[in-house]
Chain A
Amino acid sequence: MTPPFVQIDGVAMRYGGVEGTLALRQASLDVADGEFVAVVGPSGCGKSTLMRLVTGLWPPTEGTVIVDGREVDGPLSIAGMAFQNPTLLPWRNILDNVMLPLEVVQPHRRLLRAQRGMYERKARDLLKLVGLEGFEAKFPWQLSGGMQQRASLCRTLVHDPRLLMLDEPFGALDVFTREDLWDVMQAVWLAKKPTVILVTHDLKEAVYLADRVLIMSSRPGRIIAERRVPYPRPRRLEQTYEAAFQAIVHELRDQIAEARRGEATDVR
């Protein structure tokens, strides 16, 4: 059996010194290569902290984070991150926004000048994949919120990250746009098969997109339960209205309600 792609083992994270807030405690989780995992939990449970630990932005106070067989000890450029806020640069057009990581991350940074045409084609292909063909020359403020988030997703993907860390990327969108983007996300995953860790508070979203849904306890957060989602892909939005799907969502909701009461039983 191959070792997991991401291995988080007994991780604790405390902010602001010994007396500071404990955001995570004894958090452990494994994610296989190419797996799509969603992390859900009550607000303030340390989901975003988890993201920053895995991408090496912060070192954990305790425990180890291993990605692709190596302990993470600094920024992890095989990862791509996307947030609720699209954070596109208003002075760059969409194409140049998508290509921003290529100007930073090696080896693309070195190759960009010589192979600009190839990289530009790649960015255009990505924009086409998320349905933004023809918007390359537009500026972010000329696009709707959903379109900005699609462009942000392209920026996350442009350097071919093997690990995607998504922090509530669809959280600020209206329901219809969000459902559109779920399908975009599914298409991206099917096309590129990256390992994905999606942090969300939308249970329907988690069940629709993920192979496995992990539930975190309230702060200090740790993984207290997990639920496999048996549906094959591609999944269709109509499925989310079926009774079996709804049952999974309800089951997760009960577990989170328990977690919020702080008396969750560890079913792992």
Chain B
Amino acid sequence: MSARSARSAEALAEAARRRRRLENALPWLVTIGMFAVWEAAVRLFDIPVFILPAPTAIAESMVKWWYPLMTNSWATLLTTFVGFIMAVGFGLSLGVLIGSSVLVYRGLYPLLIAFNSVPKVAVVPILVIWFGAGFWPAVLTAFLISFFPIVVNVATGIATVEPELRDVLRALGARPIDIIMKVGLPRAMPYFFASLKVAITVAFVGSIISETVAANEGIGHLMLVASSRFDVPLVFAGLIVTGVMGVLMYWVAVTIEERTTGWATRGQNDPRLATGG
């Protein structure tokens, strides 16, 4: 009997391993599958290349234009990253302020919401007037578009400290700054990292918007130039490179999150599922 139960335990472990392997392979399988369907559809329906280029045509274009693609993606990565870092610093500080003071919350929140509702593409021309075309409008657009989710999440984390815990600490003579440092900020960290995952992807949107409006480098600029020349495969190549950069940055954010706030996602096999987006 024990031999049989050992065998069935072995079979269960094997099934679990198979499942884990499948889970790891799944993102690749789905992506490859999507490209395969795409390729087949283009060939089957004979879609012209200036409407929808086949993945093979895009890959060809990527190989042909690898150098401008690389330099321009690098430029976009840089502007996005600088804008994102600014958003992290600003968002964290403003989030702490809003989360810990009802007055600041009441005063600033409507303004913040109004600001966030303004389409950032409409702000780019203003930024260009102020800073000239190029690096800074892209950085600032990335910053403007990505700081809001950080502010909201950090503020939520800090404002939702349990009232009992606040009482315990206040009765001990804790100053508000103590409560924020000992409880509020650590508590807000899972919210903060969840917001980083949103912020980094929208930061890309911000810098690329700005690059398509006014810039002389960057992946947005490259796509604009390519589309004005009807080089549709290159436009798609730019889109795919952007997507890959977004996934990479997201992955970096998730890795940092797992390292620092494992306590918040205990018991779940994959924190990405719990807080993703």
Contacts and interface: CB of A to CB of B under 8 A. Distances in A.
Given A89-B183, A91-B186, A141-B266, A75 B168 contact: no
Given A89-B186, A100-B182, A79 B263 contact: no
B14 interface: no
Given A75-B170, A101-B172, A139 B182 contact: no
A78 to B, nearest CB: 10
B164 A77 contact: no
Interface in B146-200: 162, 164-165, 167-174, 178, 182-183, 186-187, 189
B172 A91 contact: no
B272 to A, nearest CB: 20
Which of B169, B170, B171, B174 is most buried by chain A, counting CB atoms within 10 A of its CB? Answer: B171
A123 B266 CA distance: 26
B186 A85 contact: no
Given A90-B264, A91-B263, A77 B171 contact: yes
Given A104-B178, A141-B266, A79 B171 contact: yes
A106 B167 CA distance: 17
Contacts of B182: 100, 103-104
Contact of A105 (B164, B172, B189, B266): B172
9 contacts: A55-B171, A57-B170, A81-B171, A89-B165, A89-B186, A90-B266, A101-B168, A104-B172, A141-B263
Contacts of B174: 104
A210 B226 CA distance: 83
Interface string B263-277: 110110000000000
B263 A52 contact: no
A87 interface: yes
A155 B171 CA distance: 13
B167 A57 contact: yes
A208 interface: no
B130 to A, nearest CB: 42
Contact of B168 (A81, A91, A103): A81
Contacts of B264: 90-91
A227 B211 CA distance: 79
Contact of B263 (A56, A81, A90, A106): A90
Contacts of A106: 173
A139 B263 contact: yes
Contacts of A90: 263-264, 266
Nearest to B183: A89
Contacts of A104: 169, 172-174, 178, 182
Interface size on B, as a range, is 20 to 34
A47 to B, nearest CB: 14
A127 B162 CA distance: 24
Interface of B: 162, 164-165, 167-174, 178, 182-183, 186-187, 189, 261, 263-264, 266-267
Interface of A: 52, 55-57, 75-77, 79, 81-83, 85, 87, 89-91, 100-101, 103-106, 139, 141, 155-156, 159
Contact of A87 (B168, B186, B263): B168
Contacts of A105: 172-173
Nearest to A142: B266
B98 to A, nearest CB: 22
A85 B164 CA distance: 8
Nearest to B174: A104
* Shortest Cβ-Cβ A-B pairs, 6 listed: A87-B165, A83-B164, A55-B171, A105-B172, A104-B174, A77-B173
Given A89-B186, A104-B182, A141-B266, A56 B171 contact: yes
Nearest to A88: B165
Contacts of B178: 103-104
A76 B164 contact: no
A192 B169 CA distance: 22
B263 A57 contact: no
Contacts of A139: 263, 266
A75 B162 contact: no
B275 to A, nearest CB: 15
A173 to B, nearest CB: 16
Contacts of B170: 57, 75
Given A89-B187, A104-B182, A141-B266, 19 more contacts: A55-B167, A55-B171, A57-B167, A57-B170, A76-B171, A77-B171, A81-B167, A81-B168, A89-B183, A90-B266, A91-B189, A91-B261, A100-B182, A104-B169, A104-B172, A104-B174, A106-B173, A139-B263, A139-B266
